Amino acid sequence: MSRAESPGSAGPSRPDDLPAEPDVLAPTGFDAWPGCDVHVEWGVTGAALAAARGDAIVVVDVLSFSTTLAIAVARGFTCLVYSGAEIAEMGGPEAAARRLAARPLSKQRRVPPGELSLSPGSLLRADPDQRVLFTSLNGASVAAASASAPALLVSGLRNAAASARTARALLTSGAARRITVVACGEQWNSVEPGVSGLRPAVEDWQGAGLLCRRLGEAGLSLSAEAALAAGAWESPDALLDCVSARELVAAGFAEDVELGMKVDVSDVVAVRDNTEPSGRAFMGRRSPG
């Protein structure tokens, strides 16, 4: 029996419990996307819609995709980022890695020194300057959904100020019409087996908020969602007892939480290289001063 169920209950609510049609239908011509410089959305759908509208996208998945990539690019890694579904279409991790001339991540998070996994700590103990195939359930899926965006960044707490400067430069250069910060969230099945769906994650909301605060301080206009996220930012200490952090600590990855909670310790940002043949390679870029 799932922890979300109790004797005599019908179990957790499911998406198919929802009505087939929305109870409010926006009138023709309604535009849900605000006319401002910075907006915040959630997950794969928000990312895909923002990309289709020509926004630069900043992916925020603090625990741990954003932290892992921040460390990787700061150490000279080239990060090929694909969703799990895309890697499966290429024949699995080993076949995809061969096709992309990259090293795959281990399927296990805990690896010996020198091996690579989604654990940020593993990147600190591996040789630098490697070409690696990265995937993750949330961050990589959002990055894949953002593939058509004119510019794509991955940001966490470790490089928030640098990411804000880099994103602002995209607007001032005319490379994008707006910045959409996408908080990735988590999946319920990681903490409640058998229960599916997106779990909004406070660490990603706070990570998006810190970035939006920095962009607002730089003079960019914020949507209501971006302004609320910016106002919600407090400090990394407020996140130490969030569900995702407690989950990692319980699994023996307290170091990953510690690495993810450091703020502005790096001025290197993971930015997609639009000239790389795969179109999915993220390289380290030092932010403009």
- pLDDT tens across 175-193, in order? 999 999 999 999 999 999 9
Q: Report the CATH number that the domain containing residue 208 is assigned in CATH.
A: 3.90.1560.10
35-79 pLDDT, tens digit per residue, is: 999 999 999 999 999 999 999 999 999 999 999 999 999 999 999
pTM: 0.91
Q: What is the 3 state secondary structure string of the chain?
A: CCCCCCCCCCCCCCHHHCCCCCCCCCCCCCCCCCCCCEEEEEHHHHHHHHHHCCCEEEEECHHHHHHHHHHHHHCCCEEEECCHHHHHHCCCHHHHHHHHCCEECCCCCCCCCCCCCCCHHHHHCCCCCCEEEECCCCHHHHHHHCCCCCCEEEECCCCHHHHHHHHHHHHHCCCCCCEEEEECCEEHHHCCCCCCCEECCHHHHHHHHHHHHHHHHCCCCECHHHHHHHHHCCCHHHHCCCHHHHHHHHCCCHHHHHHHCCCCCCCEEEEECCCCCCCCEEEEEECCC
Look at residue 159 and tell me if it is in a domain.
Answer: yes
What does the pLDDT look like over 124-169, one tens digit per residue? 999 999 999 999 999 999 999 999 999 999 999 999 999 999 999 9
Establish if 66 belongs to a structural domain: yes
Is 30 domain-assigned? no
Number of domains in the chain: 1
User: 25: pLDDT confidence band, cut at 50, 70 and 90?
Assistant: confident
pLDDT of 249 reads 97
Q: Please check whether residue 8 lies inside any domain of the structure.
A: no
Does residue 285 form part of some domain?
no
Residue 24 falls inside a structural domain: no
Cα 12 to Cα 62, 118, 198, 201, 280, distances in angstroms? 27, 30, 14, 19, 37
Q: Is residue 25 part of a domain?
A: no
**Parent domain of 59:** 39-278
Residue 283 within a domain: no
pLDDT, residue 18, reads: 53
